[in-house]
Chain A
Amino acid sequence: AQKVTQAQTEISVVEKEDVTLDCVYETRDTTYYLFWYKQPPSGELVFLIRRNSFDEQNEISGRYSWNFQKSTSSFNFTITASQVVDSAVYFCACAGSSNTGKLIFGQGTTLQVKP
């Protein structure tokens, strides 16, 4: 079974600040996948990234970047130069190879970006 912990319940920043959302996962599977989703007030989940356990390369996509470190079981997400439109709830999730691909979500971090 997997477990995902997002210790930050709420974060508030001022526009243009950088912000990092933490994610720590637990799994006994050697093959697993990690995800980040954004959930704006409309409720629809927006897929941001998927990373498999064999690929520890960090990834950058525009203002978004992800730091995957197996040594600390963390998959942190950084938004550079945050914008008001980044305000949303962000979920980290994990799917292991042993449980039919079920996604286990963290508790979510509510990010508020103030103008």
Chain B
Amino acid sequence: GAVVSQHPSRVICKSGTSVKIECRSLDFQATTMFWYRQFPKQSLMLMATSNEGSKATYEQGVEKDKFLINHASLTLSTLTVTSAHPEDSSFYICSARGQFYNEQFFGPGTRLTVL
């Protein structure tokens, strides 16, 4: 089956620093990737849709200048949390869309802790 990886799996950083999270589709090309955020004991909330070679589409209420998304190739999308603050601490999960638009393959997630 299709495999999606995320790196790092866990990151702890100081407030004010920027953190980059990578999402890779390992055995297929993904023109579309999605970024989700999950706070403890809550559901997954879609943050943005990342399309290869074009600007990401952000969901309402998500600050595009704070959460920078780059989808430079068909196998890699990155999410950069700029000037991270403790309230950005969360579990970030990416997914990559497969051949059919209704298929999504999820990465293992990245747990971000901002001190």
Q: Interface of A with B (CB < 8 Å)?
A: 33, 37, 42-45, 47, 50, 52, 91, 95, 97, 100-108
Q: How far is the CA of A42 from the CA of B49 in the complex (A)?
A: 24
| Contact across chains for A101 and B43 when beta carbons are under 8 A apart | no
Contacts A/B (CB < 8 Å), 10 sampled: A33-B102, A44-B106, A45-B109, A95-B102, A100-B101, A101-B97, A102-B34, A102-B46, A105-B45, A106-B43
Query: What residue in chain B is nearest A32 (Cβ atoms)?
Result: B102
- Describe A's contact surface by its main secondary structure: loop
Chain B contact residue count (CB 8 A cutoff): 21
How far does the Cβ of B39 sit from chain A's closest Cβ, in whole Å? 12
Contact A45 B111, CB 8 Å, known A91-B43, A108-B43: no
Flag if B44 contacts A91 (CB, 8 Å).
Answer: yes
Count A-B contacts at CB 8 Å. 51
User: Which residues in B have their C-beta under 8 angstroms from that of A42?
Assistant: 108
Q: Say whether, besides A50-B102, A101-B97, A102-B49, A107 and B43 are in contact (CB < 8 Å).
A: yes
Give the residue of B32, B45, B102, B108 whose beta carbon is less than 8 angstroms from that of A43. Answer: B108
A37 to B109, CA, bound (A): 14
